[in-house]
Amino acid sequence: MQPFAYSAPTTLEEAVEILDKHGEKARPLAGGTDLLVQIRGGRFDLDTVVDIKKIPELNEISNGNDELVLGAAVPCHKLYDDPSISKSYPGLIDAATLIGSIQIQSRSGFGGNLCNSTPSADGIAPLIVHSAVANIQGKSGSRSVPVEDFCTGPGSNVLGKGEMLVSITMPNKGDKFGAAYERFIPRNEMDIAVAAVGASIMLDSNGKIAEAKIALASVGPTPIFATKASESLKGKEPNEAAFKEAASIAKSECSPIEDMRGTADQRKHLVEVLTERMLIKSLERIGG
């Protein structure tokens, strides 16, 4: 590890300026639960670490009637500490309560989880099923990208030189909506997903599925929005047959590898099992 400078800008402009100037040699620091481990492990060779926690926009957490705006540096515990968020964004809460441990959840959040962009990230699939959008600021302006289009490969994403994530926005889909996220790990905590599935269901006034979303983690180079499986549910009765079919489609939408955490076949099988379970759980949570 080489010595590096620490800066803690208080405005977005300042932060973007530093990031732009140093390019590859600078990285934003949110909770640091990924970044510090990576610096120590030699993954980055930095001359500047930019602490973004002093920038007001990044600490914002506003739960309006229509949407939730989550600043990129808001730690997990702020979500589950707020009952109104827990009610409307249950998939998010599933992730917030299982990432790491109490200590990790007190420091780290969805912004860092998304920008770290690992295939196994527990925050990203839930964001996808909550139809979240990433709001990005660069030197030349801002843009918004749906979370499912944010990651481009293991550890890489759409952020360009000098760009940073400011916030994540999610629509409030009302009380005909339910969502859930679960990962499979051999232990009961402190483990990394062998495979994971997020799902959400919105019912129409007839009790049929108006919209469903299924997202998968740890079964491809990025978290995967399983569009075919999601589409297959549209207009259907929310029942076992429909869920089983969607689960089977989801299984075909992933491309897992074999590594120390699991085999490809095992992961595909888990996607099928967890998809059905998450759809059932999402449905149970509607109006619950």
Ligand X SMILES: Cc1cc2nc3c(=O)[nH]c(=O)nc-3n(C[C@H](O)[C@H](O)[C@H](O)COP(=O)(O)OP(=O)(O)OC[C@H]3O[C@@H](n4cnc5c(N)ncnc54)[C@H](O)[C@@H]3O)c2cc1C
- Sole binder of ligand X in the list 111, 119, 162, 262 (CB under 6 A): 111
Residue among 72, 120, 66, 81 nearest 259 (CA) = 120
Residue 255 within binding range of another protein, rule CB under 8 A: no
- Measured from the CB of residue 64, what is the shortest distance to another protein in angstroms? 36
Which residues, 198 to 227, sit near ligand X by CB under 6 A? none
Phi, psi of 146 (to 5 degrees): -60, 140
What track of x and - describes contact with another protein for positions 165 through 184 (by CB under 8 A)?
-------------------x
Residue 45 within binding range of another protein, rule CB under 8 A: no
Residue 192 within binding range of another protein, rule CB under 8 A: yes
Q: Distance between CA atoms of 82 and 86, rounded to whole angstroms?
A: 6
Nearer to another protein, 96 or 196 (CB): 196
Tell me the number of residues near another protein by CB under 8 A. 21
Which residues, 63 to 102, sit near ligand X by CB under 6 A? 72, 99-100
Q: Helix or strand or coil: residue 178?
A: strand
Residue among 62, 53, 36 nearest 164 (CA) = 53
Q: Which residues contact 236 (CB under 8 A, 6 or more apart)?
A: 208, 209, 242
First-to-last CA distance in the chain?
50
Binding stretches for ligand X (CB under 6 A): 27-35, 37, 52, 72, 99-100, 104, 107-109, 111-113, 115-116, 121-123, 159, 164-165
